[in-house]
Amino acid sequence: MALACAPARFVNYDTEYALLWGNDIVHGRTPDYDVAFAPTPHPLATAVAAVGALFGTGFLEGLFIVLAFLALGVLGWLVYALGAAWFTPATGVVAAAIVLTREPILSYGVRAYVDIPYICLLLGALLIETRRPRAGTAPLMLMALAGLLRPEAWLFAVVYAWWLWRGGALRPVHVGLVVGAPVLWALSDLAITGDPLHSLTGTRSTAEDLGRVTGLQHVPTAMPRRLGEILREPVLFGAAVGGVLSLWRLRTRGVQLAAAAGVLAVIAFALLATAGLSILTRYLMFPATLLAIFAAAGICAWTELPRADPWRTRWMALAALTVVGMVVFVPSQVTRLKNTRSALIAQTHILDELHDLAVDHLPSDPSCAVWVPNRRAVPQIALWTDRRAAVIHSAQEDGRYGLPAFVPASPAIARQFVLDPSDADKTLPPNPPQATEGVARRHWRLAGDGGRCALVGEGLTGFFVRP
């Protein structure tokens, strides 16, 4: 996996903030969750980052890149194991192949989004429960860890605890694991911001500021489209075949468990939308992974039917139709993967050059303000130069550049460095007059004298020269 995606290797905006906040904690600073357009804090990611920061920021980014590729590998193995346990080994192989060739999953995985580890933790809980019904503690421990990455896991933990209670297997420790994740998340927010609901209110406010699609009314139309973006139409067709026929003709416990997990995932997604959170494609990667397993069942699980069953032949025909559709989509998928790989490699080079300029040429005083073209570079510059995010200014939000400023070397670089292509406003302010001065590289210009430092709090024009 790493060889296929190399030399793409960088950490996404959200996770970069987790690294920055973990580094702040290690150095005795309170993480700044209130900086403009800060992402939702994920306590587990921040805690892992804090441990990694003990070994330096260079090690920290490398650690998360390695963990990202490991998570993709673990995801493939878990999908195989669940497909084999719920249906057949062939189903597991096909399911893993489907999941690990989906462009959004690879793209988010390579960039170290927390969603892939979150999916792995929930799939691990499902695998344990499949092998040991009402296992109790182990699945809930994994759900609790998942609940420190994404709140949807809280619903899974509550429903699973109810299932244990129905079977007389619920223990006090299980209750503690159920409430542990939301309580720890709230306590983390309270300790850092004074508001135990900061993650909810802050995320909702950011969604409003960015004009994101939210609300339960958009779920029925957005969900099929987003799932189609991840899986593509032939896989969705195969998932419908595998889901309906396996529930109707096989009726095994594994099939029922998979279906229940899928229903809960959809309900959790709808609850997030109802709470005012953005309707994003990556929030649907867990149900998409379950659908991929059902799609593999649609292709392979007909072998589980008795030869005398009249639906065996019909299922075979539908499986063949699914395979034909997937083969037809192969060129499109290959093109998507190639384009994504090229884009990730280009952005890796852009960020590498930005890193070298920031480390080698910015004033060493961490109180010195710096300007970047948009908010995407804020957590990176802050982490690399041991600055607070508050002193890294986005020219896009400020309306102009101050000095020193990182200015894209060309409009093409500026377009490639947009944080989110769906942002309504991607325009940048005019370059500062001094943009032709300073240090120039292929992708960036560092405008202004690296020895000059903007006085924080004195606007965009207060400078003094360092001795």
Question: Rounded distance, CA 80 to CA 292, Å?
Answer: 11
Do 293 and 400 fall within a single domain? no
Question: Which 8-state DSSP code applies to residue 237?
Answer: H
Angle, vertex CA 273, rays to CA 271 and CA 274, nearest 5: 60
Question: What are the residue ranges in the chain where pLDDT is below 70?
Answer: 1-6, 419-426, 434-437, 449-467
Do 134 and 257 fall within a single domain? yes
Question: Rounded distance, CA 364 to CA 366, Å?
Answer: 6
Question: Rounded distance, CA 72 to CA 134, Å?
Answer: 27
Do 92 and 154 fall within a single domain? yes
Which one of 306, 328, 350 terminates a domain? 328
Give, in order, the Cα–Cα distances in Å from 8 to each of 75, 133, 341, 354.
Answer: 19, 41, 7, 15
Place of tokens 């911001």: 193
Do 318 and 181 fall within a single domain? yes
Do 339 and 302 fall within a single domain? no
Question: Rounded distance, CA 354 to CA 167, Å?
Answer: 57
Question: Rounded distance, CA 400 to CA 394, Å?
Answer: 9
Phi, psi of 420 (to 5 degrees): -135, 115
Contact criterion met (CB below 8 Å) for 265 and 271: no
Do 272 and 363 fall within a single domain? no
Which one of 328, 359, 376 terminates a domain? 328
Domain count, the chain: 2
Run of H or E residues at 405 = strand 405-408
pTM score, whole prediction? 0.93
Do 323 and 339 fall within a single domain? no
SS3 assignment, position 452: strand
Q: Which residues contact 360 (CB under 8 A, 6 or more apart)?
A: none
Q: Domain range for residue 441?
A: 335-465
Which one of 273, 294, 328 terminates a domain? 328
Strand partners, 452: 465
Do 144 and 86 fall within a single domain? yes
Contact criterion met (CB below 8 Å) for 291 and 239: yes
Question: Rounded distance, CA 87 to CA 126, Å?
Answer: 14
Question: Rounded distance, CA 80 to CA 85, Å?
Answer: 9
Question: Rounded distance, CA 197 to CA 229, Å?
Answer: 32
Do 293 and 354 fall within a single domain? no
Strand partners, 371: 393, 405
Question: Rounded distance, CA 48 to CA 45, Å?
Answer: 5
Angle, vertex CA 115, rays to CA 89 and CA 422, nearest 5: 120
Contact criterion met (CB below 8 Å) for 53 and 23: yes
Would you call the peptide bond into 7 cis, given omega within 30 degrees of 0 as the criterion?
yes
Provide the 10 A C-beta neighbour count for residue 97.
Answer: 14
Burial of 371 (0-12, 13-18, 19+ CB in 10 A): buried
> Considering only CA atoms, which of 183, 201, 180, 185 is closest in space to residue 150?
185
Question: Rounded distance, CA 311 to CA 109, Å?
Answer: 38
Do 144 and 36 fall within a single domain? yes
Angle, vertex CA 24, rays to CA 466 and CA 53, nearest 5: 105
pLDDT at 461: 36
Do 208 and 117 fall within a single domain? yes
CA atoms within 13 A on the CB side of 353: 19
Do 233 and 376 fall within a single domain? no
